[in-house]
Structure 1
Amino acid sequence: MTGQRPAGLPELPKTYRARNLLIWAIGFSLAIIGGSIFGWYSLDAHIRDRFNNFQILTLIVIGLVLIGFMMGLGMSVVVADEKGLKIRNAISIRRLHWDEIGEIQYRHGDPWAYAMLAGTEDDPVRRQMIGIQTTDKDRAHAAVAELRALHAHFRGR
């Protein structure tokens, strides 16, 4: 963007993260790690000796998959720039240009914000933005207001 930025628009690129979701993901990940270590050493030595390497590796892989899934969700992010939005939800990444977005939707009762695709009014297509969570309350409302202002600004060109 050249020249001065209109009042009310954030500096770009702007990143939005779900703070509470990240805190919960880290907490549960630490609980899995701590619980696994505590559980393993709570077993009698003769019971631990009955586990073979494949079984131990399987348990470790299951724990890592659970942690990876939770951290993937916790690291969900929405990045706004002059071109549009980059939305990373867990392991999927989508790039939406401003002209592809019909509106930024965030209704009462929605778990997160949505980018509604333009031209899909008869059969709406919504892209989840897990990086903007209802649990973040005022932060989520402010993020949606900024995204709506950016959308209006860049669609108005």
Structure 2
Amino acid sequence: MPAVSGGAPTGPEVFRCRNLLIWAIGFSVVLVVGMIIGWFALDAHIRAQFNWFQVATLIIIAGVLIGFMMGLGMSIVVADKDGLRIRNAISTRRLSWAEVGRIEYRHGDPWAYVTLAGTEDDPVRRQMIGIQSTDGQRAHESVRRLRELQAYWSPQA
């Protein structure tokens, strides 16, 4: 097996975008605080005109927005001896190392990609939202580490 500069893997390694998670938490807090302040800023006679269904609808809409933001913020990439597990918002995809062709992160890409093996003529790329350009150098180091783990665990090695 090839040498791994970050050390030999002892278990699963998790990669996530810190900045996206911070923004998701921040916007969620702002949304909740804004809704509470907005509700109590209304006159009592205006608040009384809302029925329970309307209030519930507003709370459900806020919950969906918060759920979507947190889903994006909690996107991760997990690498272990069996392959990659990529959770992007609400979907999770599992790829064995044999299915992983290249791990790409080109200049200008918003996040890293994995190109599936055997699709060189018509590349099939999967997003890895857990590694985003907003993390700057940390994203480049994550991609470098993923490539090392691929070389270490890949059956072609």
TM-score category of the 2 structures, normalised to the smaller one: over 0.9
Structure 2: distance between partners of 1:107 and 1:149: 17
Structure 2: distance between partners of 1:122 and 1:144: 24
Q: Is it true that 1:32 corresponds to 2:31 in the alignment?
A: yes
Count matched residues. 154
TM-score, scaled to structure 1 = 0.94
Q: Is it true that 1:106 corresponds to 2:115 in the alignment?
A: no
Q: Secondary structure at the match of 2:98?
A: helix
Letter in 2 for 1:67: I
In the alignment, which residue of structure 1 is the partner of 2:3? 6
Identity of aligned residues (%): 64
Structure 1: distance between partners of 2:50 and 2:59: 13
The runs of 5 or more residues in structure 1 that have no matched partner are: none
Structure 1: distance between partners of 2:145 and 2:83: 13
> Contact between 2:19 and 2:134, CA under 8 Å: does it hold in 1?
yes
Q: C-alpha deviations, 1:75-131, integer Å up to 9, x for none?
A: 000000011100000010000011101100000000000010011112111110000
Letter in 2 for 1:29: S
In the alignment, which residue of structure 1 is the partner of 2:123? 124
The runs of 5 or more residues in structure 2 that have no matched partner are: none
TM-score, scaled to structure 2 = 0.94
Spell out structure 1 runs of 4+ moving beyond 4 A. Answer: none
In the alignment, which residue of structure 2 is the partner of 1:70? 69
In the alignment, which residue of structure 2 is the partner of 1:96? 95
Q: Secondary structure at the match of 1:51?
A: coil
> Contact between 1:77 and 1:89, CA under 8 Å: does it hold in 2?
yes
